[in-house]
Structure 1
Amino acid sequence: MALSYSTIQDVDLRVQPVDEVLDRVAPALQTRFLRDTVVRKRRSVGARTERDTWVRVERRPLAKITDQGWNGTEVAVRLKGVAMPVWRQCVVWQDEDGPVGWRADETSLLPAAPVGSAVLSNAPELPAEWWTGLNASLDALAAHATGRVATPDTEVITQDLVTTSIRTVFSEGFDTTVRRWVPAHADLNWANVTAPVFSLFDWEDWGNAPQGLDAASLWAASLAVPALAERVRQERHHDFESRDGKLMTLFVCSKILGPHAHPQDPRREPARRTADQVIEELQAG
């Protein structure tokens, strides 16, 4: 299959034609798609199948596929105690037109609908059981051991990335060295969790990351709804109170306040206030 795109990096599957991709995947997985269920995102497209499963197809430049591969959804099957869809099978191929890989993973259906977009502007209705499920899953995930390294936004998270991201926005005066690395989902936002039944999906980027990355990511996605952001902090207080959790708070704030951030983002002011407080705490030791 050949897909004609202007460059390797600038493809947005929300606007590019995807029928040819789906036509390739369906027979490879021996199923058919329900085309009225197709969901398109920037670098992935998904659809429900006739056998009541879900297939997510991702496009990724080969340069963004690390030595560990990009089979996160597949290898996440060994993560016990984490609420997620059940992985079934996959198909992987290289694009004929350039250094681009495609991967389609078939999983069970979600137990409920996604909460919303990645970043929320209105408070969702989340029962107490939802927060219990979130905490149980994140705690169970962090208790595992893995050789994988998390790739948030398809970029391998390293000490250098953490330091550079923080220093680009915030001043000197505190140590940015991460002390504890634990398994993390690495893309925890409101588009990747379901409610009222909690489940966490889209596992392609999971791996070791500084403690608190997931909690900080969900908090950052909640900042336009102050009460929700505060609830996230309360529920994951042991992450936020840790030194690495403070660094991860600055790490996610750097994306909101950095040079490429949107100037009208309603999260900017609360992110700035929190960052100032966290920096004081880090400087105080």
Structure 2
Amino acid sequence: MRAHHARAAQALDVQTEAGGEFWGWAGRTLGAPARTTDGAPAWLRLVTAPEDKASGKLWDGNLDAQQVFGDLDGRRPALLAVHDAVDDGTAYRAELSARVEQPVLSDDPVLQRDLPLPDSWWEDLAGTLAKVAAVNTDRVAVRQQYMDRAIPEFVGTPAPAVTCWTTAHSDLHWANVTAPLRILDWEGWGRAPEGFDAATLYAYSLLQEDVAARVRDAFPVLGSPAGLAAEATVCAQLLQTVARGDNLPLEDRLRDWSEELRRR
């Protein structure tokens, strides 16, 4: 993987910098800081997949996001260039993006500490997500079939009717945001029930009551009939991860949330 990352840097005419190497889930991605020929700071990310699976929503997510959103008024790191290669049945895509200098707000998607953020940050987040929600796309982040199956199984209630489908980032947790606001990792964006991003951020805030309450204040759709489908979907998704042995610290809070959802 490092050898292919180095080849991608050469193909894109950038120089990687020592230190700061970041491996993604299961070694599927490798990122590192880089600089362009004019000295601009950048980030070079390499993603890999079997050649016959190198397509579709996740593979093209960042490229699609660049075409639709651009840098989202500075809230999304712009994708500067892409380089594709295939070697012995494995596809490699290198994505060169503008570097985000601010660290993410949490190393873990689940927020483990109190996080006082100014009102302006929350206003920026709400405004940015509203812009995302208004975009038309045929990309799908959440499927009705999944909701019909998973919500009864993991939340214990029939899937609520979706009153409005909107566009969502779909992976809005604390390891994907910075202050000042930048939103990272646009692989999975697409259509989802209204309020999906807000519900996702709320779920990953459940261990911090003050922050969870602030998420609800910032996004009034949470707790409303319009947001019920999104909340039930996110709760089901995370309880499903708990069943696989992941996100175990959230289990009790998720079960409390599912009980509240069943009463609505």
- The TM-score with structure 2 as length reference comes to 0.86
1:1-285 equivalences under 5 Å are 18-42=1-25, 43-51=28-36, 52-61=41-50, 67=56, 70-77=59-66, 78-79=68-69, 80-81=72-73, 83-96=75-88, 98=89, 100-110=90-100, 112-116=102-106, 117-150=108-141, 157-172=142-157, 174-195=158-179, 197-243=180-226, 245-258=227-240, 260-262=243-245, 265-281=248-264
Change (3 A) 1:211 1:87: same
Change (3 A) 1:127 1:62: farther
CA distance in structure 1 between the aligned counterparts of 2:257 and 2:193, rounded to whole angstroms: 19
Change (3 A) 1:264 1:82: closer
CA distance in structure 1 between the aligned counterparts of 2:99 and 2:248, rounded to whole angstroms: 33
- SS of equivalent residue, structure 2 residue 59: coil
How far the C-alpha of 1:166 sits from its partner, in A, is: 0.9
Change (3 A) 1:256 1:86: closer
Q: Let me know the Cα RMSD of the aligned residues.
A: 2.3
CA distance in structure 2 between the aligned counterparts of 1:95 and 1:83, rounded to whole angstroms: 35
How far the C-alpha of 1:175 sits from its partner, in A, is: 4.4
The answer for unaligned runs of 5 or more in structure 2 is none
CA distance in structure 1 between the aligned counterparts of 2:165 and 2:53, rounded to whole angstroms: 22
- SS of equivalent residue, structure 2 residue 263: helix
How far the C-alpha of 1:81 sits from its partner, in A, is: 4.9
What do residues 195-240 of structure 1 show as CA deviations (whole Å, max 9, x unaligned)? 1x00111111111111122111111111111211121122112244
Change (3 A) 1:33 1:194: same
Contact 1:82 1:140 in 2 (8 A): no
How far the C-alpha of 1:59 sits from its partner, in A, is: 2.4
The answer for unaligned runs of 5 or more in structure 1 is 1-17, 151-156
Contact 1:57 1:102 in 2 (8 A): yes
Matched-pair identity in %: 28
How far the C-alpha of 1:27 sits from its partner, in A, is: 0.8
- SS of equivalent residue, structure 1 residue 91: strand
- SS of equivalent residue, structure 1 residue 94: strand
How far the C-alpha of 1:252 sits from its partner, in A, is: 2.1
How far the C-alpha of 1:170 sits from its partner, in A, is: 2.9
How far the C-alpha of 1:67 sits from its partner, in A, is: 4.6
How far the C-alpha of 1:66 sits from its partner, in A, is: 5.3
Q: Which structure is higher in helix share?
A: 2
How far the C-alpha of 1:61 sits from its partner, in A, is: 4.5
CA distance in structure 2 between the aligned counterparts of 1:125 and 1:64, rounded to whole angstroms: 42
Change (3 A) 1:63 1:253: farther
CA distance in structure 1 between the aligned counterparts of 2:121 and 2:53, rounded to whole angstroms: 33
What do residues 59-118 of structure 1 show as CA deviations (whole Å, max 9, x unaligned)? 23467655557322222233255711112111123341x4x4322211111152211121
CA distance in structure 2 between the aligned counterparts of 1:190 and 1:175, rounded to whole angstroms: 27
CA distance in structure 2 between the aligned counterparts of 1:179 and 1:165, rounded to whole angstroms: 19
What do residues 156-190 of structure 1 show as CA deviations (whole Å, max 9, x unaligned)? x2100112111221334x44332321111111111
What do residues 114-162 of structure 1 show as CA deviations (whole Å, max 9, x unaligned)? 1112111112242222111111110111111112222xxxxxx210011
How far the C-alpha of 1:260 sits from its partner, in A, is: 2.2
CA distance in structure 2 between the aligned counterparts of 1:66 and 1:276, rounded to whole angstroms: 39
Moved more, 69-78 or 104-113: 69-78
CA distance in structure 2 between the aligned counterparts of 1:273 and 1:233, rounded to whole angstroms: 16
- SS of equivalent residue, structure 1 residue 230: helix
**Which residue of the partner structure matches residue 154 of structure 1?**
none
